Structure 1
C-alpha cells in the first residue's frame, strides 16, 4: 500500500491552472504562439512597472532588515546553533548561484548587449560598459534579494515559530487563521504554478542549448522534436535521482557539476586575457555600483524601448518564479543563523561568484568578437543565442573538449534542477510535509518535463517566457505581502522578547540544594539513577500539575516514551506551538585529561529538560517534587506571557487548524 500526502485544494488547484495553460497548446497549436506572445505583451505593457517597483522594494527591504536590530534575530530558537559549519554553508550558497542560466547567458547576454545596447552606439566602448553593467544588474544582488525574501520568510516563520514550511506561513501575521482557508491555498497555488513554469523555462533553455551543442559538434538537428526527446531522456535520469534519494542523487551530481563548472571558468580565465580580465572585473563592479540606483528603477519611461521588456522584466519575472525553489533551498540550509548573517551571505556570496563568471565569459566573448572573430561571434549569437557558448569555445584551445563538457554541465544542471524542484513543489503541495512518498516527487518531476515539452511544441521559448511572466505576476504581490509580514512579525518578536525577557536561555526556577549538589559531585548519577528519578519524582510532579490543570478546565496530556525513558507534560493550545515541559535522560562524556582517560567510555547522566520551542534544556537531577512543580509553573508562566503579550499575539496566536493534508491509500507503487 502506498500513501499519498497532499493538501488537496493546493494540489488540484495547481494542476487545473497548469492544465489551462497547456490546453492552449494542445487545443490550438497553430494559434498558441500568437496567444502567448499577445499575453506577454499585454502583461508587460500593463504591469511592467509593477515588476520593477516590486524588485526595488525587495532590495531596499532586505538591506533595511539586515542593517536594523531585526538582523540580530535567529532563524530558530534564540539558543539554536547552525546545522552546518560555516564553510559548508558558504559552499552550498556558492553552489546555489550556479545553474543552466549561467551556461546559457554567460557569453550570450554580454555579447548581445554589446551588439545591441539599450542606449549606446553598438560595437563601441560605451556599448561594452552598458553590456556588462546590464548583465551584472540582471544577475546580481537584485536577483538574490528576490530569493532572500522567500528564503527569509520560510526560515524565520518555519524555524522560529514552528509553522509549516510553505509560503502561506510567511503571511500569518497578516492573515492569522485565514492562511488555512482559500487565501492561503491561493498563495501556495501561485507559488507552485510559478515554480513549475520557472523550472520549465530553465529546462527549455537547457535542452535548447544541449540541442544546439549537439548540432554544432556532430550535426545532429536541433528541432523541437529532438528537444522534446532530450527532455524525456534527462527527465528520466532526474526521476532515477529522485528514486535513489536526495543524498545519493542531487548532492553527488551538484558537487561534481560545481567542480567542473569552476574548472571550466578557470580554464577560460587562464587561456584568455587573464590580466585584462582581472582589470575588467574591478571596473565592472565599479560601473555596477555607480549605476545601481538608476538601473533599479529605470523603465525608460520617457523614451520607451523594447529592450526593457525583452531583458529586465523577463528576468525579474523569471527570478520571482524561481524564488520558492531557491528560497526553500537556502532556508533549509540556514537554520540557526542570524537574520543579518543570512541576508548578507545570500545577497553577496552567490552574486559575487556570478560577477566573476560573467566577467570571465562575457568580457572574453566581447574581446574575441572584437579581435579574432571579427564580429562573427556576435552575429551568430544574434541569430541563435543558444549556440553562443559553443561558437565562443571555437576561438579557444581544446574546443571539442570544452564544448562537450559544457553539454554535460547543462544536462546535469537540468537533472539537479528537476530533482530539487520536484522536492520543493511537493513540499508546498503537501502542506509543508517533507516526509512524502517518493512517487509524489516523481509525479512533479515528470510534470515539469511535460510542461516544458508541450510549451516548446506550442510556441518555443517564447511560450515558456510568456507563461513565466504570467505566472509571476500574482506571486510578485504575494512577495510584497511577505515583506510587510516579516516587518510585523520581527517587530512583534523583539517586543515579546523585551516583555518576557526571552532573550536569555530558559533556566530552572529553583535549583538543587547545595548539600544535594555536593552529593552528586562526589557520586555522579548512573543511567539507572536518572531513569528511576524520572519515573518517580518527575512523573509525580507532572501528574500533580496535570491534575490541577484538568481541574481548572485546561486539558493536559502526559506522554511517556518507554524506549528513551522520557516523560513530558503537554498543554495543547491554539498557538504556533503547544506548551511542552519534558524531561529525558541525557548523557555526555566526562572531561578527559589524558589519552588513557579519553579511551574510557565514562559518561555523565542527567535528567535534562526539553521544550516545544527547541530551546536548550538544563539538568534538574536532584530537584525535589515541589521544586520540579515550581520549575514547570515558571516555564508555563513564561509561555503564557509570550502568548498573551500584545506584541507577540501576532506570532503566537496559532491557526485554529493546521493546514490539512489528505492521505489517499493506493495499491500502486
Structure 2
C-alpha cells in the first residue's frame, strides 16, 4: 500500500487537528460547547460586516468576468469539451451538499421568518411577514451562496485544467503569496480544516432531519444514539460509493437525487395551491431583485438585534467554510466549460431550482397556515427539523412522502459525504485527481467523528458555531482569490471564438467590397 500521503504535512497537520477537536469534544462536551459559543458571539458581533462585504465583492467580480472578453476562455484547452452531459453536470453540482441544506431549510426557513419577521415594522405571522419570509429565503439561497463556490471553483479549475497545475488552494494563491512551502502548507491545512467543519455542519443537519423524520414516521425517539447510528450507516454507504470512483458512485447518485427531487417538486406543485405557488414565486423574485443590495449589506448597528447574525452571516460563513470542498468539486466536474458557461451554470441554475423548491414546498406550508388554520410555523419554531414532515401532515400520501423524504435526505448525505471525502483526499495528496482509497476512508471517518461530536456537544447550535468560526480566516482567502484570478487572466491570451472569427471574416469582406467600390469610383473619375 502506498503510504506516501502520511509524509504529506498537509495530511498530517489537518488530520491531527480534526482528530484532536473530535477527542476534546467527546471528552469535554460542556466545555467544548461553552468555548464554541464564546467564539460564535465574538465572530458574529465583530466581523459580520466583513462576511457581507466579501461576498458582495465576489458577486460583482464574477458578474463582470462573465460578460467580459475573458468569458470565452475554457477550463482546459481551447478545443476541449465538457466531460459530463449538462443534466449529469447539474446533478453533480447538487451532490456537492447543496441538496442536504435545501431539504433541511426549504420549508424551515420561510416558516421561521413568517413566525418571527426579519424586519422591524413588519408584524409577524401576517400576510406581510409571509411575503418578506419568501423574499428573504430566496435571497439566502440565491446567487450569493453560489458565487462563493464559484470563485473558488473557477480559480482551481483554471489552474488545474488550463495551466495543468494541481487543484490546491495554495496553488490558486501563488500569484499573490508565492511558492514558499511553509506558507503553502499552512494555507492548504487550514483549507482542509475549514472544509471539514463546513461539511460536518451539512452532515449534522441532514442527520438531525433524518432522525426527526424517523420519529415522525416510525415509533423511534429522536435521541443522540439514533443520530449516531444514522452517521454510522451513512459512513458505510459513502465509503462503498467512494470505492466506485467519481464517474460511477457520485454521478449515478447525483442523477438519482436530482431526479427524485424533481419528482417531489412536481408532486407538491400538482397537489398544492398551484396559483399561490406561482404568484408567490413571481412576487418573491421581484422582491429578491429589488432588495438584493439592501439585504446583501444589511446590518443592525442602530436598532440592535441579532437576526442578521443568526441567519445571513451564518449562511455566508457556512458556505465559505465548505467552499474549498464545493469549489474544488465543482471545478473537477466542470472541465472543458468556458468561464462564462461555468459562472452562468453555477450562479443561475442551482439558485433558480432552490427558489422553485422554496416557493413550492415553503409556499405550500405558508398557504396552509394563512388559509387553512394549520400551525406549521409554531411546530417549526419548537423543532426546526420537523418542518418538512409537519408540512407532509397536511398533504395526501403523508406516510409515503415522509419515507421518500428520508430516502432523499439519506442519498443527499451519501453523495455529499462521498464527494467531500474525494476532495479532502485530493487536497491532502498534493491535488491528486485519483487519491488512494485509504485516504478517503481516513477523511470519511474523521468527518463522521467531528459531526457526531458537534451533535453531542450542542446539536444545531454547535454545528452553526463550528462553520462560522472556521470560515473567518478563509473569508480573507476569498478576496485574495479574486486578486489572484485577475493576475492570472492578465497573462492569458484571449480565446477567439468561432462566432468572433465569422464576424471578423464578414467585416473583412465588407471592407474589401468597399475598397473595390472606392477604387472603381476613382477609376471612373480619372
Structure 1-normalised TM-score? 0.71
Query: How many angstroms apart in 2 are the aligned matches of 1:200 and 1:432?
Result: 22
Secondary structure of residue in 1 paired with 2:394:
coil
Equivalent position of 2:352 in the other structure: 352
What is the Cα deviation at residue 329 of structure 1? Answer: 2.2
Equivalent position of 1:192 in the other structure: 192
Q: Deviations over 1:5-63 (max 9, x none)?
A: 35622111212332343344234223222221111111111111111111111111111
Query: How many angstroms apart in 1 are the aligned matches of 2:63 and 2:203?
Result: 32
Secondary structure of residue in 1 paired with 2:5:
strand
What is the Cα deviation at residue 301 of structure 1? Answer: 2.5
Matched pairs, number: 496
Match 1:167 to one of 169, 174, 189: 169
Q: Deviations over 1:62-97 (max 9, x none)?
A: 111112222122222333333334555455446668
Equivalent position of 1:392 in the other structure: 391
What is the Cα deviation at residue 412 of structure 1? Answer: 1.0
Give the direction of change, closer, same or farther, for the CA distance of 1:13–1:280 in structure 2 (3 Å limit): same
Equivalent position of 2:253 in the other structure: 253
Aligned 8 A contact 2:94 2:254 in 1: no
Secondary structure of residue in 1 paired with 2:302:
coil
Match 2:131 to one of 129, 133, 136: 129
Aligned 8 A contact 2:153 2:328 in 1: yes
Aligned 8 A contact 1:239 1:446 in 2: no
Give the direction of change, closer, same or farther, for the CA distance of 1:94–1:20 in structure 2 (3 Å limit): closer
Equivalent position of 1:82 in the other structure: 82
Query: How many angstroms apart in 1 are the aligned matches of 2:391 and 2:497?
Result: 58
What is the Cα deviation at residue 300 of structure 1? Answer: 2.1
Aligned 8 A contact 1:78 1:503 in 2: no
What is the Cα deviation at residue 224 of structure 1? Answer: 1.3
Query: How many angstroms apart in 2 are the aligned matches of 1:461 and 1:378?
Result: 18
Aligned 8 A contact 2:97 2:202 in 1: no
Give the direction of change, closer, same or farther, for the CA distance of 1:95–1:424 in structure 2 (3 Å limit): closer
1:233 aligns with 2:233: yes
Equivalent position of 1:569 in the other structure: none
Aligned 8 A contact 2:96 2:416 in 1: no
1:48 aligns with 2:48: yes
Secondary structure of residue in 1 paired with 2:249:
helix
Give the direction of change, closer, same or farther, for the CA distance of 1:93–1:454 in structure 2 (3 Å limit): closer
After superposition, where does 1:68-467 map in structure 2 within 5 Å? 68-86=68-86, 88-90=88-90, 92-93=92-93, 98-119=98-119, 120-178=122-180, 181-372=181-372, 374-467=373-466
Aligned 8 A contact 1:71 1:340 in 2: yes
What is the Cα deviation at residue 194 of structure 1? Answer: 1.4
Query: How many angstroms apart in 1 are the aligned matches of 2:142 and 2:470?
Result: 22
Aligned 8 A contact 1:132 1:284 in 2: yes
Aligned 8 A contact 1:422 1:442 in 2: yes
Secondary structure of residue in 1 paired with 2:491:
helix
Higher helix share: 2
Equivalent position of 2:470 in the other structure: 471
What is the Cα deviation at residue 476 of structure 1? Answer: 0.9
What is the Cα deviation at residue 304 of structure 1? Answer: 2.3
Moved more, 273-282 or 355-364: 273-282
Query: How many angstroms apart in 1 are the aligned matches of 2:61 and 2:7?
Result: 31
Equivalent position of 2:519 in the other structure: none
Query: How many angstroms apart in 1 are the aligned matches of 2:253 and 2:56?
Result: 35
Equivalent position of 1:581 in the other structure: none
After superposition, where does 1:472-551 map in structure 2 within 5 Å? 472-494=471-493
Equivalent position of 1:523 in the other structure: none
Q: Specify every segment of 5 or more residues in structure 1 that has no aligned partner in the other structure, as ranges.
A: 506-669
Aligned 8 A contact 1:140 1:351 in 2: yes
Secondary structure of residue in 2 paired with 1:130:
helix
Secondary structure of residue in 2 paired with 1:77:
coil
Aligned 8 A contact 2:314 2:468 in 1: yes
Moved more, 397-406 or 229-238: 229-238
Moved more, 90-99 or 346-355: 90-99
Higher RCO (CA 8 Å, separation ≥ 6 residues): 2
Q: Specify every segment of 5 or more residues in structure 2 that has no aligned partner in the other structure, as ranges.
A: 499-526
Higher strand share: 1
Query: How many angstroms apart in 1 are the aligned matches of 2:166 and 2:146?
Result: 23
What is the Cα deviation at residue 457 of structure 1? Answer: 1.1
Query: How many angstroms apart in 2 are the aligned matches of 1:345 and 1:20?
Result: 39
Query: How many angstroms apart in 1 are the aligned matches of 2:3 and 2:436?
Result: 7
